[in-house]
Amino acid sequence: MAAVFLAATAADAQLGRPEGLYYKSWAVIFGINDYLLAPKLTTPVADGKVLAAALRKLGFEEVVEVYDKQASFKGMQYILNDVLLRKVGRQDRVVIFYAGHAGITQDRNGKDLGYLVPWDAQTNNASKAVTLDDLKDFSRRVMAKHILFIVNAGVSGWDITAPQQLSLEGRGAPEEETDKRAIQVLTAANKGEATAQKDGQSLFLRALAAGLQGAADTDKNGWLMVSELGAYSKQQVEKATAGKQHPQIVRLDGDGDMILVEGKRGTFRAGGEPKTDEERIAAAKELYDLAFTTLQQQRPPQEALNSLNKALEYNPTYGDAYILKSYVLLEYLSDQDDALIAANQAVKYAAENPDSHYTRGLILLKKRQYKDAEQAMQRALALNPDNSDALLVLGDLYAEDLKDQKKALESYKKYLETGGMEARARDYIEKAGTPSLP
């Protein structure tokens, strides 16, 4: 099964969309009514479509809806362990929604092991299910900063960290939460509880939809956090079911909180120029986010460069700002010399970020410094061996510039193995008389 990711237009996004806080927002909606082997259900597909529409209104650009037989075991595994792992970036947020049958088994020590039932599995066969351990493993492997699992079923069996904080009270500015890793889980019910429905829709989904439209922002500060959505959904469902159904909001990892709607920012400009080191670092981060927003909204790239230069005045060791600056100079302003200066600083201050080496390699390639470009791309791959973009660039470099067929074939084959789709890689392999991938 092939998953097709379609980008939403700017008109689909609310003004409250946190553009500067996340580079891209992803959602995958799994809903299964017409099970092949398990008893059929009536509301999951409709619930999934409602949530998909709500997330698009919040500015989620990439929303994939996977219903009924598309949500087979192989189909679910392909999206989680192939598509998302290749496409999601380190500055992104991801929402995974599942509506369908779920089950719980135990290990030899009596510990709960929860699982989700794909379209082609039976409810009592955990070996052909997507387990909660599978989802947690996915959360460890994917590059996203914030991940939210929403399970419209009564299920348990997660290894969790400290209880989820359900209020912004005592925190810093809400936008600071985006700097902290967060893997969060919201379930419709507690272990063994039935999920109530009304008028062809689950009460849990109804609470979610109302919360996403603003009802969950109970402190009316304009910010909607996952912790607030969880608290609101729990309160509404418990009230509607007279205490028979108890949604759960927990944290699997990290101490951050996904931001669903961005309110008004507390800005350093209100108090004049930053004075302390802490204020300067915060100011630099805000300007970095502003530069991202400028590019996403397709405003003049010089505006983004101005923001980045100011950010680096406040924090001269801000590696990510150098990465973005080098990219802007290369791709938007065609200034290869200054782009290389910025890229060298990026490598200095963000040596463990593969993007710094990858961008530097692109610049060196444009400057026809092929051996140096090769070394930069190899370093990017040493940090992230599944970087398909770097593998494709290397393949092109070996094929067209360094004339090294053996290395070109090796790079192109690895590129295809990571899910790359460019036809020239496959064509090169076939013309060389070497078997390609199926």
Looking at residue 422, what is its pLDDT?
87
Looking at residue 45, what is its pLDDT?
96
CA distances from 269 to 17, 19, 312, 436 (A): 22, 20, 16, 57
Looking at residue 217, what is its pLDDT?
86
Predicted confidence band of residue 295 (pLDDT cuts 50, 70, 90): confident
Which has more pLDDT, 427 or 163? 427
- The average pLDDT across 412-426 equals 88
354 within 8 A of 387, measured Cβ to Cβ = yes
Looking at residue 158, what is its pLDDT?
54
Handedness of CA 343, 345, 351, 352 (dihedral sign): negative
Q: How far apart are CA 86 and CA 93, in angstroms?
A: 14
99 within 8 A of 32, measured Cβ to Cβ = yes
- The average pLDDT across 404-432 equals 89
3-state secondary structure of 234: helix
Looking at residue 103, what is its pLDDT?
86
Q: Does 17 have pLDDT greater than 60?
A: no
Looking at residue 67, what is its pLDDT?
97
Q: How far apart are CA 68 and CA 98, in angstroms?
A: 12
- The average pLDDT across 309-335 equals 94
Helix (H) or strand (E) holding 289: helix 277-296
Share the mean pLDDT of the chain.
84
Q: Does 164 have pLDDT greater than 50?
A: no
Looking at residue 18, what is its pLDDT?
55
3-state secondary structure of 431: helix
Q: Does 438 have pLDDT greater than 50?
A: no
Looking at residue 235, what is its pLDDT?
94
- φ and ψ at 104, to 5 degrees? -140, 130
Predicted confidence band of residue 161 (pLDDT cuts 50, 70, 90): very low
Q: What own/partner pairs with CB < 8 Å and gap ≥ 24 does 351-358 have?
A: 351/319, 352/383, 353/319, 353/320, 353/323, 353/383, 354/379, 354/380, 354/381, 354/383, 354/384, 354/387, 354/390, 355/323, 355/380, 356/319, 356/322, 356/323, 357/383, 358/387, 358/389, 358/390, 358/393
Other CB atoms within a 10 A radius of the CB of residue 198 amount to 11
- Percent helix, percent strand, percent coil in the chain, to nearest 5: 50, 15, 35
Residue 369 CB contacts under 8 Å (≥ 6 apart), including other chains: none
Q: How far apart are CA 320 and CA 420, in angstroms?
A: 26
Predicted confidence band of residue 272 (pLDDT cuts 50, 70, 90): low
Predicted confidence band of residue 256 (pLDDT cuts 50, 70, 90): confident
Residue 123 DSSP code: T
**Tokens linked to 11:** 């008109």
Q: Does 210 have pLDDT greater than 60?
A: yes
Looking at residue 156, what is its pLDDT?
65
Looking at residue 162, what is its pLDDT?
38
Looking at residue 381, what is its pLDDT?
93
Nearest to residue 323, comparing CAs of 334, 312, 314? 312
Q: How far apart are CA 334 and CA 71, in angstroms?
A: 45
Predicted confidence band of residue 175 (pLDDT cuts 50, 70, 90): low
Q: Which of 92-101, 121-130, 177-186, 417-426 has the lowest mean pLDDT?
A: 177-186
Other CB atoms within a 10 A radius of the CB of residue 234 amount to 20
Looking at residue 289, what is its pLDDT?
85
Looking at residue 19, what is its pLDDT?
53
Looking at residue 7, what is its pLDDT?
35
415 within 8 A of 423, measured Cβ to Cβ = no
The pTM assigned to this predicted structure is 0.58
Residue located via tokens 């009596």: 110
Q: How far apart are CA 276 and CA 285, in angstroms?
A: 14
Residue 314 Cα to chain centre, angstroms: 29
State percent of the chain over pLDDT 90: 54
State percent of the chain over pLDDT 70: 86
Q: How far apart are CA 123 and CA 317, in angstroms?
A: 53
Q: How far apart are CA 68 and CA 49, in angstroms?
A: 13
Q: Does 221 have pLDDT greater than 80?
A: no
Residue 231 β-bridge partners = none
Nearest to residue 207, comparing CAs of 182, 231, 185? 231
Predicted confidence band of residue 132 (pLDDT cuts 50, 70, 90): confident
Give residue-wise pLDDT tens across range 235-249.
Answer: 999 999 999 999 988
Predicted confidence band of residue 176 (pLDDT cuts 50, 70, 90): low
Helix (H) or strand (E) holding 65: strand 62-67
Nearest to residue 76, comparing CAs of 6, 14, 138, 160? 138
- φ and ψ at 305, to 5 degrees? -65, -40
Give residue-wise pLDDT tens across range 36-84.
Answer: 999 999 999 999 999 999 999 998 999 999 999 999 999 999 999 999 9
Residue 388 Cα to chain centre, angstroms: 17
Which has more pLDDT, 339 or 435? 339
Predicted confidence band of residue 89 (pLDDT cuts 50, 70, 90): confident
Q: Which amino acid is at 277?
A: D
Predicted confidence band of residue 5 (pLDDT cuts 50, 70, 90): very low
Q: Which amino acid is at 13?
A: A
Nearest to residue 321, comparing CAs of 331, 309, 333, 332? 309
Which has more pLDDT, 289 or 162? 289
Q: Which domains does the chain have, with CATH numbers?
A: 10-261 (3.40.50.1460), 268-384 (1.25.40.10)
Looking at residue 180, what is its pLDDT?
77
Residues in the chain: 438
Looking at residue 233, what is its pLDDT?
95
